Structure 1
Amino acid sequence: MDLTLQVAIDCTDPQRLVSFWADALGYVPEPPPGGHDTWRDYWADMGVPEEELNGVGEGPESIVDPTGQGPRVWFQPVPEPKAVKNRVHLDLKVGGGRSVPLAVRTQRITTTVERLTGAGATVLRVMDRPDMDYYAVVLQDPEGNEFCVG
Structure 2
Amino acid sequence: MSSVKHFQVTFDCAEPERVARFWCEVLGYVVPPAPEGFATWEDYDRSLPPEDRSAWFACIDPTGVGPRLYFECVPEGKVVKNRVHLDVRAGAGLVGEERLATLQAECDLLLALGASHVLTQVADEENESCITMQDIEGNEFCLA
TM-score bucket of the superposed structures, by smaller chain: 0.7 to 0.9
Contact 1:40–1:57 (Cα < 8 Å) also in 2 = no
Q: State how far apart, in whole Å, the 2-side matches of 1:44 and 1:72 are.
A: 23
TM (normalized to structure 1)?
0.82
Residues 20-99 of structure 1: matches in 2 within 5 Å?
20-39=22-41, 50=49, 54-57=51-54, 61-97=57-93
Retained in 2: the 8 A contact 1:102–1:133? no
Unaligned runs of 5+ in 2: none
How far is the alpha carbon of 1:105 from its aligned partner? 1.1
Q: Segments of 4+ in structure 1 off by > 4 A?
A: 38-45
Q: Is the 8 Å Cα contact of residues 92 and 149 (structure 1) preserved in structure 2?
A: yes
Letter in 2 for 1:79: P
- Of 29-38 and 19-28, deviating more is 29-38
Tell me by how many angstroms 1:83 deviates.
Answer: 1.0
* 2:129 counterpart SS class: strand
The aligned residue for residue 17 of structure 2 is: 15
- Paired positions, count: 142
**Matching residue's letter, 1:17:** V
